[in-house]
Structure 1
Amino acid sequence: MLRIIKKPIHFCTPEQSPHKFCQSIRYSTILIFNNSYFLMDQKSFLKLKNLRHTLHQYPEVSGEEKQTAERILDFFEPLQPDQVIRNIGGHGLAFIFEGKEKGPTSLFRCELDALPILEKNNIKHQSTIPGKAHLCGHDGHMAIISGLGLFLHQQRPQKGRVILLFQPAEETGLGAAAVIEDAKFKKIKPDYAFALHNLPGYEQHQIIIKKGTFTAASAGLIVKLKGENSHAAHPEAGNSPAEAMSKIIVALQKLPDAMKKFSLITVIHARLGEVAFGTTPADATIMATLRAFENDTQVLLQQYAEKLCTQIAKEYGLEISFEYTEEFAASHNDVDAWEFGNEAAKKLKLKTKHIRLPFRWSEDFGLFSIHTKTLLFGLGSGKNHPQLHENDYDFPDNIIPTGVKMFEEIIDQIHH
């Protein structure tokens, strides 16, 4: 159960009393959850809440996050980071907080972009941009990393350095690659990288964590077939891709049955010719999402899918071509990085769920797993909360301090 106290109270240590600390805190927001204490002064909490609400009102989709980045820059200006890197991987931002001693570099990442979906909520901070909305919670993730900025302003790392990364274009799968390929990334190449994602369907404040793969690799496959037109009265004079297209749709979705490890193919769109009742079609397009829990399995799945489609096209004498879009690597949780996150949850006495199977959805953070030791974990946003990408979703403000505190505890382990 969660209780929020917003009034002057006096505390003693937990050893003296299970409900007191030995310090006086004026007008603080005290979150008491499962005997765990999250202390965030009311002024800071309201700052983060107001920031999130503003970001929610003015969403920008992947590649267009210019004003969002400006708002984050304004928030961080009084926090005096030691270095600010702008326009990394597009509109991305990196804030660097240096320690006094040499040590490791850790990166904490959130996402700048919203979704091209119309919001249907009755809230004061509803999106003001028609057809665009923060329906994945990236506004809340930004608030959490901004809260980490407030913490680092007051308490720099003792050793090493902490990077707060606001990454563009997560939803399209292009942002992480753009950041990593940017020459500026060499300045901040981390030893560890951490991120969280809020997860509806789990209790608020619950931590969902796993060693190894946490989210799947995925890619959008576009298959194009080309035959020949003819008059609809004489279909034998042309070469319609209709039958081949139908076979490919069925065959692709059956292909994972032959794979030794988990994989999934979902056909999401198909188009045949044009609406012309006097003409047989010459062109067809099939679009499918390919998923696997491991990157090498994903590569094999793509190779087998292309080979299968090519065989069918050849059987019907059709030309064929392939394109890929929205490619995501699997997010892989390194054992060392996992230990930091697991220990943080233990120290905070948070309810923790150790999942056995990875999530089937994908996260752009997975690309960082190829370059450094990473941890991506889930933060419960409510058992009955609207699901991600639904038009009535809104990030719950009261889990912001939980996310901030998890990252603070990880920093404490690595940098103090």
Structure 2
Amino acid sequence: MPVINRIADYAEEMKGWRRHLHQHPELSFDCHETAAYVTARLREFGVDEIHEGIAKTGVVAIIAGQGEGPTIGLRADMDALPMDEITGADYASKVPGKMHACGHDGHTTMLLGAAKYLAETRRFAGRVALLFQPAEEDGGGGQAMVQEGVMERFDIAQVYGIHNAPNLAFGNFVTTPGPLMASVDTVYVHLTGKGGHAATPHETTDPIVAAVAMIQALQTVVTRNANPMNELVISVTQIHGGSASNIIPAGAWFCATVRSFDPDLRALVKKRFYEIVEGHAAAFGVEAKIGYDWGYPATVNHPAETEFAVSVAQEVAGAANVEGHGGREMGAEDFSYMLEARPGAYLFLGTGPGAGLHHPAYDFNDAVAPIGASFFARLVETAQPLG
């Protein structure tokens, strides 16, 4: 079964929704206008219930099918990124310093398309819960929604989500059972030494030298502490210190991102991070303060639900266009919290050639929206069939 004909009929309308959202990006939990726009469309569709203000600006909508049955959850994220857009599109962001550079406008549109179809046809038993989530990029909106009890409150039995994938063949789906995306932790290290003249370094305690030694030593966690069969990334992404060529500064700081799949390895990295930084601080005579932000856990697909989602994707896109054991990646995603709370699966949907995610020239491919909406709709109809 290809794209649902009725959803294909919505293509131009969906394009309009997506481009409106693209022009009005909002960040983190502050998705007030986005949530209002989503709510207005849901009311037009005639969904049965709309619950606003979940995780500050999240929205949950309920559509009842025909007859008794469980509730299936479908999730889309709504937030944008703090960056300027360079696409030059006539529907480009109208908000300086903010843009939809990760396609959450497209994700929201795909779920709205599925909502319109499901509210109109209701060819399923039980209920569907549409989860419009803020703060995926920053703040952990998925965790906040779970902590506010959406799974229990709406009796959600299983949950699914999609992320667009630039430069994956248009309309192709990729996922894998088990770990799909990595956990992510962020570490800040602030060093305090003793500043002075660069011509008399013996009269100073140089935090720059200490920082460099720490950064080099941290890579030994990957090469000497971690099992080489377990994926691990430690990337130092910022280092700051100093103001002139002839001054040794009194302080410096650096930060790093840590990504892995295994919880035990994740804990080991934290332990070794403290040992290496504190040990080098003692050796170099500087004071070190470590801020270790325990971030999103790994996104782990449930095997049975992944197999089911793959079968539905094959109906929509064709078996040749679906990879059900496509490997995993070191990016992170707060849908992980929903998968910790309920069984389900997360899939990537190819949008064809174009600028990558988080790039200022990125733009969601509107032509893929009916495919994603059809996948969501068929998940519901297949998981909870009538009769």
Query: Fold-level match, TM-score > 0.5?
Result: yes
Letter in 2 for 1:338: T
Letter in 1 for 2:287: E
Q: Does 1:407 align with 2:376?
A: yes
| d(CA) in 2 for partners of 1:321, 1:246 | 16
Equivalent residue, structure 2, for 1:58: 24
Equivalent residue, structure 2, for 1:344: 312
| d(CA) in 1 for partners of 2:365, 2:170 | 9
Contact 1:226/1:282 (<8 A) preserved: yes
Letter in 2 for 1:170: E
Equivalent residue, structure 2, for 1:87: 53
Cα deviation, 1:51-76, whole Å, max 9, x if unaligned, reads: 00100111112122111111111111
Cα deviation, 1:97-152, whole Å, max 9, x if unaligned, reads: 23454433221111111111111113221111122111111111000000111022
Unpaired segments ≥5 residues, structure 2: none
Shift of 1:279: 4.9
Structure 1 residues 102 and 323: alpha-carbon distance in aligned structure 2, compared to 1, 3 A threshold: farther
Structure 1 residues 160 and 302: alpha-carbon distance in aligned structure 2, compared to 1, 3 A threshold: farther
Equivalent residue, structure 2, for 1:359: 329
| d(CA) in 1 for partners of 2:308, 2:65 | 19
CA RMSD of aligned residues (A): 2.1
Equivalent residue, structure 2, for 1:159: 125
The two structures have a TM-score, normalised by structure 2, of: 0.92
Q: Out of 237-246 and 108-117, give the one that drifted further.
A: 237-246
Q: Does 1:236 align with 2:205?
A: no
Contact 1:173/1:363 (<8 A) preserved: no
| d(CA) in 2 for partners of 1:299, 1:59 | 36
Equivalent residue, structure 1, for 2:185: 219
**Residue number among 340, 348, 371 corresponding to 2:341 in the alignment:** 371
**Residue number among 243, 252, 261 corresponding to 1:275 in the alignment:** 243
Equivalent residue, structure 2, for 1:303: 271
The two structures have a TM-score, normalised by structure 1, of: 0.86
| d(CA) in 1 for partners of 2:85, 2:57 | 24
Shift of 1:393: 1.2
Greater strand proportion: 1
| d(CA) in 2 for partners of 1:209, 1:356 | 5
| d(CA) in 2 for partners of 1:372, 1:303 | 30
Equivalent residue, structure 2, for 1:140: 106
Q: Does 1:392 align with 2:361?
A: yes
Count of aligned positions? 380
Contact 1:172/1:326 (<8 A) preserved: no
Equivalent residue, structure 2, for 1:78: 44
| d(CA) in 1 for partners of 2:368, 2:8 | 14
Equivalent residue, structure 2, for 1:316: 284
**Residue number among 92, 109, 114 corresponding to 2:80 in the alignment:** 114
Shift of 1:178: 1.6
Q: Out of 95-104 and 330-339, give the one that drifted further.
A: 95-104
Equivalent residue, structure 1, for 2:351: 381
Letter in 2 for 1:294: D
Cα deviation, 1:232-288, whole Å, max 9, x if unaligned, reads: 55443442222210111112233211211110111100112x426665322221101
| d(CA) in 2 for partners of 1:41, 1:172 | 32
Unpaired segments ≥5 residues, structure 1: 1-34
Contact 1:341/1:375 (<8 A) preserved: yes
- Percent sequence identity is 28
Structure 1 residues 271 and 327: alpha-carbon distance in aligned structure 2, compared to 1, 3 A threshold: same
Greater helix proportion: 2
Shift of 1:180: 1.6
Structure 1 residues 324 and 112: alpha-carbon distance in aligned structure 2, compared to 1, 3 A threshold: farther
Structure 1 residues 332 and 121: alpha-carbon distance in aligned structure 2, compared to 1, 3 A threshold: same
Superposed counterparts of 1:120-269, under 5 Å: 120-156=86-122, 158-183=124-149, 186-188=152-154, 190-230=156-196, 232=198, 234-258=200-224, 259-260=226-227, 261-269=230-238
Higher RCO (CA 8 Å, separation ≥ 6 residues): 2
Shift of 1:230: 4.1
SS at match of 2:116: helix
Equivalent residue, structure 2, for 1:9: none
| d(CA) in 2 for partners of 1:184, 1:335 | 23
Based on CA coordinates, which of the two structures has the bigger radius of gyration? 1
Letter in 2 for 1:331: T
Contact 1:218/1:328 (<8 A) preserved: yes
| d(CA) in 2 for partners of 1:172, 1:106 | 26
Contact 1:173/1:326 (<8 A) preserved: no
| d(CA) in 1 for partners of 2:139, 2:324 | 26
